[in-house]
């Protein structure tokens, strides 16, 4: 095993069983296939988690998930462009036949509980070069020329020439209190933190 990672934020019912990850395992690993990293499920929607990996220069981004929505496909296409990496997206395909006859709980109606949607995304313009594969098991294959990631980063490099560190790095340091300055709003007054959102009971 080259790399392991504990999900930062368990989603919905996952919180009954899983704790929160510490974030000390957000790593990219060198392999004979290239530098591989990625995030789990909706971690891929978390800008700072993505940024932590972008800084390590992934060339192949692995994104396992239970999300089979059109929105997920938009997410991984965006990540390919933003990271300059090939994205291998692996949503779960879960047919009713995956459950044994003696499964202890009643299953909902329907023959498929997760449609899948596996795909591979090119980094240069976010083109889907394999898949998406819905409603069946299968293996996707694509020729991933890692030089395309370098071409993509000539246009846009989120942690390089397009990072705007001089401006945004200072804003982040102010927001976290590292500079000892108080964040201000557009009116010049101290900014108030956004109210914490809670789920309806």
Q: List the domains of the chain with CATH numbers.
A: 12-175 (3.60.110.10)
Query: What pLDDT does 4 receive?
Result: 87
pLDDT of 191: 62
Note the pTM of the prediction, 2 decimals: 0.84
Q: Which class for 55: exposed (0-12), middle (13-18), buried (19 or more C-beta within 10 A)?
A: middle
- DSSP E strand stretches across 4-125: 29-31, 34-38, 60-65, 86-91, 93-95, 112-121
194: Cα within 13 Å, side-chain hemisphere: 4
Task: Specify the DSSP element, H or E, that contains 121.
Answer: strand 112-121
Distance of CA 143 to the CA centre of its chain: 22
Alpha carbon 29 to its chain's center: 16
Taking 70 as the pLDDT cut, the residues of the chain under it are 175-176, 179-186, 188, 190-201
Cβ atoms 67, 175 nearer than 8 A: no
Whole-number pLDDT of residue 183? 57
pLDDT of residue 195: 57
> How many whole angstroms separate alpha carbon 140 and alpha carbon 119?
7
In this prediction, residue 193 carries a pLDDT of: 56
Helices (H) and strands (E) in the chain, counts: 4, 7
pLDDT of residue 201: 43
Antiparallel, parallel or unpaired: β 60-65 and 112-121 = unpaired
């Amino acid at each position: 095993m080259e790399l392991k990672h504990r999900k930062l934020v368990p989603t919905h019912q996952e919180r009954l069983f899983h704790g929160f990850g510490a974030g000390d395992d957000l790593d990219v690993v060198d392999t004979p296939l290239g530098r591989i990293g990625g995030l789990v499920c909706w971690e891929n929607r978390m800008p700072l988690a993505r940024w932590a990996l972008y800084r390590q220069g992934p060339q192949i981004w692995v994104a396992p998930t239970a999300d089979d929505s059109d929105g997920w496909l938009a997410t991984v296409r965006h990540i390919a462009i933003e990271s300059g990496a090939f994205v291998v997206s692996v949503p779960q395909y879960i047919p009713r036949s995956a459950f044994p006859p003696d499964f202890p709980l009643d299953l909902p109606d329907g023959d498929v509980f997760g449609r899948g949607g596996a795909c591979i995304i090119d980094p240069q313009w976010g083109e889907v070069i394999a898949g998406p594969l819905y409603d069946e098991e299968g293996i996707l294959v694509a020729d991933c020329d890692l030089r395309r990631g370098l071409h993509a980063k000539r246009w846009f490099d989120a942690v390089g020439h397009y990072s705007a560190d001089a401006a945004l790095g200072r804003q982040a340091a102010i927001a976290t209190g590292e500079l000892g300055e108080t964040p201000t709003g557009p009116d010049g007054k101290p900014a108030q933190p956004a109210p914490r959102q809670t789920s309806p009971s």
